[in-house]
Structure 1
Amino acid sequence: MIRRLLCLVALLLLSACSRPVFQGSDLTGASFGGDFQLVDHTGKARLLSDYKGKVVALFFGYTHCPDVCPTTMAELSAAMKQLGNKAGEVQVLFVSVDPERDTPQLLGQYVPAFDKRFVGLTGTVDQVSAVAQQYKVIYQRQNVADGYTVDHTAGTYLIDRKGRLRVLENYGAGPDAFAHDLALLIEE
């Protein structure tokens, strides 16, 4: 009887210490990422650490993107709706990998169109490149007949309230996966 009770207590303690089971790739303990500074779509300098205390969804994209970016932003918008009142504890940040075209004004039209709480970030080519390298994001301009597109890493990073990189949501994961993983991070 005592042995069973001790086993039950041990199981309860182990389950209390277990890590959450994310639907995206668990990056807990990753040695990359971290704070950075860019300019938001209102022209104000922003640090990632300005959003400490909130769960951050960090996506790298560009406004002229024909598919990946609007799809991901729509999925994040739908996930925010699923979160209901908890959505106020999440900040979505869209970092432009096309700073030559994506001015703060253009980001101010594009990003909040998905959700007025979403923030677009940009900077100089060198600043954006440094942040992309910091997060292991790859992007490359591709010339086409009528201009150019930008091939880029399509995942979204989820960062916990303490500013730690925790999850990579792959492109196409869907709003349910975003909502699930964001909710887990909100509850931590």
Structure 2
Amino acid sequence: MTLRRLLLPLLALTLLVAACEPTTATAISAQGLQRQSDGWHGVPLEVEREMPDVTLLDTDGNEVNLREATAGTPTLLFFGYTSCPDICPVHLAVLAGGMRETRTTTEQVQVVFVSVDPERDTPARIDEYLASFDSRFLGLHAELPVVEDALRQLDLPGPVVEGPDPRGEGDLIGHPAQIVGFDADGEARRVWPFGARRSDWVFDLPRIVEQWSAAQDEAAEDAA
């Protein structure tokens, strides 16, 4: 897939869809995100969307309703797969680095990884994969129709098999290439496209904690 396609916006939500190809990560991730007019680096959404109301499984086999489990805490949601050669590991690594640098905990901002590759992504594999970034990240999986339903609720396309991985590790899978940010009320507020750098997260994470938290909502209600 070309760099142009990787950066092509979807009109309604300013969202990205990309396949994982082993030659693109360095060039794209080096760019970082342009600072928005309101000071954020994440891209604001123009259309209202809520956290998907779907039930998946955690890596212990427990059912997790995504909307209920994330209620009350700002959440960063990412759909990917553990065999991804560049987009997924780059995204997760820079996010984890930003959280470490800002000392942001997963009690303040949840990070949820949903696998789009249920055939290969076993619970053990998801756990091992996320542990290489931050073991506090929540890994979820489900049958493909459930994952596709979650993506549909966000107006995102479902995963697409793009062809054999040249590394000999099965198929490459095209999937949404951005992290979606939700406030404590489960409203989608911004996206961080592939290309976000640690510095982007270092700038935005404190804003997420300060402006999207349940405590902030309560303070605003008290002031009113």
TM-score under structure 2 length normalisation? 0.69
**Paired residue for 2:173?**
150
- TM-superposed deviation, 1:127: 0.6
Match of 1:128 among 147, 172, 181: 147
Q: Is the 8 A contact 1:60 1:95 kept in 2?
A: yes
C-alpha offsets along residues 133-158 of structure 1, whole Å, 9 cap, x if unaligned?
A: 22233321122174211011211001
For 1:85 and 1:182, how far apart are their aligned partners in 2? 7
- TM-superposed deviation, 1:20: 5.8
1:40-59 mapped onto 2 (5 Å cutoff)? 40-48=58-66, 49-59=68-78
**Paired residue for 2:136?**
117
Question: Larger % of helix: which?
Answer: 1
**Paired residue for 2:210?**
187
- TM-superposed deviation, 1:110: 0.8
Q: Is the 8 A contact 1:81 1:87 kept in 2?
A: no
Match of 1:99 among 118, 123, 127: 118
**Paired residue for 2:195?**
172
Residue identity over aligned pairs, in percent, reads: 33
C-alpha offsets along residues 93-133 of structure 1, whole Å, 9 cap, x if unaligned?
A: 11111111112221111112210110111101111111122
- TM-superposed deviation, 1:74: 0.2
- Gaps spanning 5+ residues in structure 2: where? 1-36, 212-224
Larger radius of gyration: 1
The question of 1:89 aligning with 2:112 is answered: no
- TM-superposed deviation, 1:22: 2.1
Tell me, what secondary structure is at the counterpart of 1:184?
helix
C-alpha offsets along residues 58-92 of structure 1, whole Å, 9 cap, x if unaligned?
A: 01110000000000110111111122155530111
For 1:177 and 1:90, how far apart are their aligned partners in 2? 16
- Gaps spanning 5+ residues in structure 1: where? 1-18
Aligned-residue RMSD, C-alpha: 2.1
Tell me, what secondary structure is at the counterpart of 1:98?
coil
For 2:47 and 2:209, how far apart are their aligned partners in 1? 18
For 1:74 and 1:38, how far apart are their aligned partners in 2? 24
